[in-house]
Structure 1
């Protein structure tokens, strides 16, 4: 009989929260809950999701105690796991992160380039605040953080809260593996055993086998070279690919792969290797933030309101996705000592032998009650080493700029980003970002 857990979802008003609840409910035999709490500082937004989830929990798992609050003491008391996915500034600030760089012909994306830097400067204090609440009210709890931009946030937690029980994660590799599983005719992405190295949204697979040890790479490489991660002429059964921007991203993998056909790339590398292509195919007046606001947010919130009004979720279209499944798998490994092999964002400490030991890298780890143990990926090729070291420097400079309130270091971070063509362009973008982030960033000097 597994011990029941208490979970707080920080970011209760997120459009992903209901899907996490569905996944938690569906996995009660693997990760049983005694209590589930929502926490958000936006009470109105959280109420939309919480009212629907209260119905879902009542119908499908009435034994779980459910509540939603904006009071940190109530939220973080008697908690075993904090599942954090906050977006400081909301989608309105994401829109600015994307559109301001595009004004200057630079990639406008929420986690890469200037947009990622801007978002990080808002996210750092928000995530640190959550860690402090957890350590004050439930010091034995684990935080599973998938707040973006995960790589810079992870560096900030390493520097600012080095002893905190926090694991930084991302579901993007899972989404890519889901498409790869479809391509390879596997039933589930968990059938894939991998070797992977890099940073968050910035990495490469070097090995993929099935559970029987059969090498998947020869057939996969042949497919990716022609079609990227999309199926041959058809869309895959992947919810990400329902939107045109994601379809393009998964197809563009064929060009990223061509740069180094010895490895299989993360899709986000397109922003660093083909920034000119990304800008040329971007609409500076209608970005990904607008897509989310016009589609995902409207659809999820409309469904949540419908559930609350009808008092039933029996016919709901809300589903549990890989985003939630990954978190449940990780929490279960920590709680029940299952020794899962998972991609996590962790201090390097020699996992990648020939880069900075203090870099926050994304590598396979073994997860158990003792926490995580990174697997050694050895030395990596010069091409990847050069790209990673440049991006690590960007991330470290952002965190230093935040701590020191340094305009100079944030300008240096933007200048060093592979997505930005010059120091002068970096400065113009930075000045615009400062103007719209006065409510969120420290005052830079």
Structure 2
């Protein structure tokens, strides 16, 4: 088989050992000869720490994979076969601001579904499109596999503004499948769930074990508490049994932000006083992880990495890359353009759903009309996402204000304006599209 060159942008991330582990396990089907970890100058120290761990992991595995550490984007991208992105513009300090500013107004700042997701998209989309332009120059035939949040919004921006082949991935659906498997004491491979919705806004409306429909039984387990939909990065607040049965769908944990908004705001405010926002908690988790990574006797990903919130990340990313490379025609849950999966969203927008993955990419499986009980929420969030992409591209203040205002987690236009103004003030260095526009209009 052809030897592969893979690049991870944001190579100094604490997530990187997950990916290395995934590629090591799949070396027989994904013969990666050169793996480039790329970062920026500010991330040099973490890149070197993670890079040394990656080299120890590969050495222990005894495979002919060379780990390269670089700050040179051209060197990394030249003739690459696959590029994965896991970057955070502004690092965790920016995320913490994203969370704290809305909380001042009693609004969730959550980094993908709430205003925090909007702000992260404004910083991230221009950077990723710049990366895409370099890919068009140095590796035009490569696949971009994006894990950077907000994954659905970012994937849509790339699909609409770049010619690069791309898919967005998220470990959330895999975590849901694992929870189903756990409830029935079976392997994940025995589980199939039909997924519909948007990134971090997905529902499973049909659930099967070895081909047998267990949807109603699993909903009963959810209602009685013998099955869960818990993610480590989301407060463990459950739905009532009555609501679980009324919904009769399996919602990803992120839907608590929409269906239990008041309770989640209260939990976020309480956490801020005691253990800090999720961003502050993550900063402490990362500090401990990087201490572990520096242990020269460590030759594998540590168990503590699961606390970071990216469980099943490597399984998700590496299995999808293998499905493309090996033309497997496997079904995976990915972020890809609608193309008729449902008539209730425009064909060109990005959604998260089951798709057949082969050498040509993702072929979403049609599921038809969205159930009325979730249709309005999905359509309103998609409208917010479309405006968020437009704002990130244009730097237009009014578009940004409208995007935040129609987000279901923002209670009023006045609050949206206050949040937006504070966001722009603290993020000025990362938002040239806004501030260059302002100078031109003066």
Q: Which TM-score applies when normalising by structure 1?
A: 0.90
Q: What is the aligned counterpart of 1:410 among 367, 384, 400?
A: 400
Instruction: Indicate the residue corresponding to 1:214 in structure 2.
Output: 212
Q: Distance in 2 between matches of 1:269 and 1:164?
A: 31
Q: What is the aligned counterpart of 2:292 among 288, 303, 310?
A: 303
Shift of 1:299: 2.5
Instruction: Indicate the residue corresponding to 1:225 in structure 2.
Output: 223
- Mapped pair 1:399 → 2:389: yes
CA contact (8 A) 1:73 1:137 kept: yes
Deviations 1:277-299 (A, max 9, x none): 1111113351111111112x023
Q: Distance in 2 between matches of 1:259 and 1:215?
A: 17
5 Å-filtered alignment, 1:348-427, equals 348-427=338-417
Q: Distance in 2 between matches of 1:171 and 1:366?
A: 17
Q: Distance in 2 between matches of 1:62 and 1:29?
A: 10
Instruction: Indicate the residue corresponding to 1:79 in structure 2.
Output: 80
Instruction: Indicate the residue corresponding to 1:54 in structure 2.
Output: 55
- Mapped pair 1:40 → 2:39: yes
Secondary structure at the counterpart of residue 86 of structure 1: coil
Give the 3 Å change call, closer, same or farther, for CA 255–48 of structure 1 in structure 2. Answer: farther
Give the 3 Å change call, closer, same or farther, for CA 106–79 of structure 1 in structure 2. Answer: same
CA contact (8 A) 1:102 1:284 kept: no
CA contact (8 A) 2:36 2:68 kept: yes
Give the 3 Å change call, closer, same or farther, for CA 172–257 of structure 1 in structure 2. Answer: farther
Q: Distance in 2 between matches of 1:315 and 1:343?
A: 25
Give the 3 Å change call, closer, same or farther, for CA 319–427 of structure 1 in structure 2. Answer: closer
Note the aligned Cα RMSD (angstroms).
2.1
Secondary structure at the counterpart of residue 353 of structure 2: strand
CA contact (8 A) 2:29 2:326 kept: no
Secondary structure at the counterpart of residue 37 of structure 1: strand
Q: Distance in 2 between matches of 1:347 and 1:317?
A: 35
Q: Distance in 1 between matches of 2:45 and 2:259?
A: 41
- Mapped pair 1:292 → 2:290: no
CA contact (8 A) 1:11 1:40 kept: yes
How many aligned residue pairs are there? 425
Q: What is the aligned counterpart of 1:326 among 312, 316, 331?
A: 316
Q: Which moved more, 1:410-419 or 1:130-139?
A: 130-139
Gaps of 5+ in 2: none
Give the 3 Å change call, closer, same or farther, for CA 260–358 of structure 1 in structure 2. Answer: farther
5 Å-filtered alignment, 1:62-141, equals 62-141=63-142
Deviations 1:233-254 (A, max 9, x none): xxxxx9x54xxx54x34x5255
CA contact (8 A) 2:18 2:301 kept: no
Q: Which moved more, 1:398-407 or 1:147-156?
A: 398-407
Gaps of 5+ in 1: 232-237
Shift of 1:398: 1.2
- Mapped pair 1:154 → 2:155: yes
Shift of 1:138: 1.3
Secondary structure at the counterpart of residue 112 of structure 1: coil
Q: Which moved more, 1:127-136 or 1:79-88?
A: 127-136
Deviations 1:201-237 (A, max 9, x none): 0121111112x31112122111111227539xxxxxx
Q: Which TM-score applies when normalising by structure 2?
A: 0.91
- Mapped pair 1:270 → 2:256: yes
Shift of 1:259: 7.7
Deviations 1:130-184 (A, max 9, x none): 22222211111111111100121122112211x3211111111111221221112
Q: Which moved more, 1:105-114 or 1:24-33?
A: 24-33
Moved over 4 A (4+): 253-257, 314-321
- Mapped pair 1:313 → 2:299: yes
Instruction: Indicate the residue corresponding to 1:235 in structure 2.
Output: none
